[in-house]
């Protein structure tokens, strides 16, 4: 009987240490990009961050990210450019209104963490991986990371002699406990 009670308490204790669920907070997050156009850096951002994050630093295999941003919120500071980027030859926002990332694995390393997952832009999904860090902040977590992608892998922008193929994506995602 004593052994059964100990087992029940140990089993219950394992579930008490389960991964915590978080909800990304759009207003406290930044999704930015930088790409060279005519040799100059052009930067912009996306809003409309949505999804769910499950994170437990002690059990990374139980952690996951499933997040998206609204393509229609693209902002480069120039309305005419933003309208052009929403058209079919770039993001085709009418047909593909979100950019989504779904993690497949998360590992720890000496500098923080590394995440692998599937990034879907304009209906095309590619495997990506990048390092990130986590900080406790305001009853939630701040995830910070960056990755480089080739826009042509996602059929964004077609052939261009003046637009770089590589874009740098910078992420600061605040997620509140849900």
Using a 10 angstrom Cβ sphere, with 0-12 exposed, 13-18 middle and 19 or more buried, the burial of residue 50 is middle
The residue among 106, 146, 150, 148 whose CA lies nearest residue 124 is 150
CA–CA dist 174, 30 (Å, integer): 9
- Do 104 and 120 form a contact (C-beta atoms < 8 A)? no
pLDDT of residue 7: 43
pLDDT of residue 148: 98
pLDDT of residue 68: 98
- Per-run averaged pLDDT (10 residues), the chain, 178 residues: 44 52 97 95 97 96 98 98 96 98 96 96 98 95 98 92 94 96
pLDDT of residue 10: 43
């Amino acid at each position: 009987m004593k052994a059964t009670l100990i087992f029940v308490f140990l089993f219950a204790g394992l579930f008490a240490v389960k991964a915590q669920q978080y909800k990304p907070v759009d207003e406290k997050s930044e999704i930015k990009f930088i790409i060279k156009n005519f040799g100059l850096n052009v930067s912009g951002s996306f809003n409309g961050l949505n999804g769910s994050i499950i994170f437990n630093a002690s059990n990374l295999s139980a952690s996951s990210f499933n997040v998206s941003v609204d393509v229609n919120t693209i902002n480069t500071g120039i309305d005419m450019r933003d309208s052009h980027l929403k058209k079919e030859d770039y993001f085709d926002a009418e047909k593909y209104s979100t950019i989504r990332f779904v993690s497949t694995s998360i590992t720890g390393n000496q500098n923080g963490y590394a995440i692998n997952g599937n990034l879907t832009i304009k209906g095309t999904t590619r495997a990506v991986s990048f390092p990130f860090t986590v900080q406790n902040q305001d009853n939630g977590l701040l995830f910070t990371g960056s990755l480089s992608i080739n826009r042509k892998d996602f059929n964004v922008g077609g052939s261009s002699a003046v637009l770089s193929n590589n874009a740098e994506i910078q992420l600061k995602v605040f997620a509140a406990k849900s």
